[in-house]
Structure 1
Amino acid sequence: MRKVEVVAYNPQWGEMFVAEAEHIASVLGANIVAIHHMGSTAIPGIHAKPIIDLLVEVQDIEQVDEYNAAMERMGYQAMGEFGIATRRYFPKENLEGVRTHHVHIFPAGSEQVKRHLMFRDYLISHPEDAQVYSKLKQDLAQQYPTDIEKYMDGKDGLIKILEQKARDYFKGEQL
């Protein structure tokens, strides 16, 4: 079981994203369409697990597999789709074995990309809902400090509500 740590917002998370995005871009090169900061570390003012989530849009998802060894040299573990069709997932840990980054790679413009970006952008533009999400994460981390699965399951209901709010809010807009 992984320790569940939720901490106050750190303004350096944005800089950490930029630095890691540059490393990812140097590996994946011309296949990249865009790299986005997603997840709670991308939402100013809320508590988060201190793990930088990068969402990478690529032209050719199959081509990503050719870069597994290069990603592993950067400290990432190549996990393939890892439960989500058409995704390539790469977690990274520091020398102490603490998770520091997640890279999620999807085909450009896919529904998964839209879903993640809508969720992030909705919470950025609706700080009241972002704070509700932040509080739930703090409570769950305290309740399940060593059970990441129960922590994740505990967020599921609110995430579904917030995703629906995001879909309604962005209805008709092109992301």
Structure 2
Amino acid sequence: MRKNEAKYSQVEDPEGTADTLGISSVMTQDMSGKRGNNYTFDLAVMTSFEGDTGPYLQYAHTRLSSIKRRANVSDEELANADLSLLTEPHAINVVRLLAQWPDVAQNTLRTLEPTTVVTYLFRLTHVISSSYDHLQVVGSDPALKAARMALYDAARIVVGNCMRLLGLTPLER
């Protein structure tokens, strides 16, 4: 975290955040595979911000939270956003994955395998991450800005709920 001093100084509780990242690292690794399978404990891989790790999930949630803070779009604007403006392929891909969440939750309840949620969460965060350059919020036309922010806010809520279901604490910064 200290590699970026500007961002590090914005974190209210660096030690608590570091603890949350560490716990997310281990728990995500534990839940990434089926319960009956073994895995190799590798701290370097587990704590990386790249690849399918707990810190990557935390980064994805904090980035969505950051977009919401910077966009400065009111809840009323989000509720009244014209979602028909979301016609870009990247937006459609995010919507499709968000729509799969209820089925993923049901399947997880049926199989009692947390890996179902973890796998879905990585798929969703990868699609969201690939959309940032194509679906910019800040600097967009006001109507499009509200629609894109509503999409990202829905994604932030789903990512956060998935993380909480897994016992992780989603970070805002």
* TM-score (normalised: structure 2): 0.31
* Larger helix fraction of residues: 2
Q: Which has the larger radius of gyration?
A: 2
Larger RCO (alpha carbons 8 Å, 6+ apart): 2
* TM-score (normalised: structure 1): 0.31
